[in-house]
């Protein structure tokens, strides 16, 4: 009986010892499992990034060819490149002032407009108020529309001025002009959120 009792106690002790060993093994393996899951996640993310890079590499020859054609045809003269929006606004103001002086139109005011994003482009411009004779206004519009880099005339409002004339004379028609002069430029790339993790 003593042998059976001893055997039962040994069996209980052995099963408790095995249970403790199993518990310790699980506690020791849990961080390894978490690490393995983290590595799998990183591998998936890196695989997606690799696919994106391969896609970019596949279209790179087309981008290079388009850039070369752009340069060969002189198209860079039609757009603002590698300049900040504030530099572009100042250049637009300078160009408008020069054209108005050439056409002998009277500058009322000129103010920068907030830059707006339009898809992959940034709309940069100024609001202008001036007055002049009708031929001077038309010549101003023509000069601005045909200048390089390309400018767009938007939200144009023409208001006739009252002009006094002597009897029998036809008064020169003068108008007040309010418009927005803008251009499109490549939008700066959006900042990517920083990746956290250990």
Distance in angstroms between the alpha carbons of the first and the last residue of the chain = 60
CA angle 114, 157, 79 (to 5 degrees): 45
pLDDT-based confidence at 196, cuts 50/70/90?
Answer: very low
Output the pLDDT for position 185.
Answer: 81
Q: Concatenated DSSP letters for 153-167?
A: EEEEEEEEPP----T
Q: Average of pLDDT values for 179-193?
A: 73
Question: What's phi and psi for 145, nearest 5 deg?
Answer: -70, -30
The SS3 of residue 61 is helix
Query: Which residues are registered as beta bridge partners of 8?
Result: none
129, pLDDT greater than 90: yes
List the domain boundaries for the chain: 1-73, 78-186
- Nearest Cα neighbor of 107 from 122, 117, 95 is 95
Contact between 78 and 148 (Cβ < 8 Å): yes
Query: Mean pLDDT over all residues of the chain?
Result: 83
Residues 11-52: pLDDT tens digits? 888 889 889 888 888 888 888 888 889 999 999 999 999 998
What is the average per-residue pLDDT within 134-147? 90
d(CA 130, CA 93): 13
pLDDT confidence of residue 193: 47
Name 187's Cβ contacts closer than 8 Å, sequence gap at least 6: 117, 120, 121, 122
Domain 78-186 CATH class label: alpha beta
């Amino acid at each position: 009986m003593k042998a059976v009792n001893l055997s039962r106690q040994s069996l209980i002790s052995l099963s408790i010892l095995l249970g403790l060993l199993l518990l310790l093994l699980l506690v020791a393996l849990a961080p390894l499992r978490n690490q393995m899951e983290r590595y799998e996640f990183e591998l998936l993310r890196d695989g997606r990034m690799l696919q994106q890079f391969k896609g970019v590499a596949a279209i790179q020859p087309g981008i290079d060819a388009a850039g070369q054609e752009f340069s060969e045809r002189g198209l860079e003269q039609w757009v603002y490149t590698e300049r900040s929006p504030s530099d572009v606004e100042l250049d637009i103001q300078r160009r408008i002032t020069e054209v108005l002086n050439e056409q002998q139109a009277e500058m009322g005011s000129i103010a920068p407009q907030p830059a707006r994003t339009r898809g992959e482009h940034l709309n940069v411009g100024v609001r202008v108020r001036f007055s002049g004779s009708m031929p001077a206004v038309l010549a101003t519009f023509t000069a601005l529309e045909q200048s390089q880099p390309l400018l767009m005339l938007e939200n144009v409002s023409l208001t006739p001025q009252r002009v006094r004339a002597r009897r029998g004379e036809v008064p020169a028609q003068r108008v007040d002009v309010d418009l927005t002069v803008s251009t499109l430029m490549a939008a700066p790339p959006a900042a990517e959120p920083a990746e956290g993790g250990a």
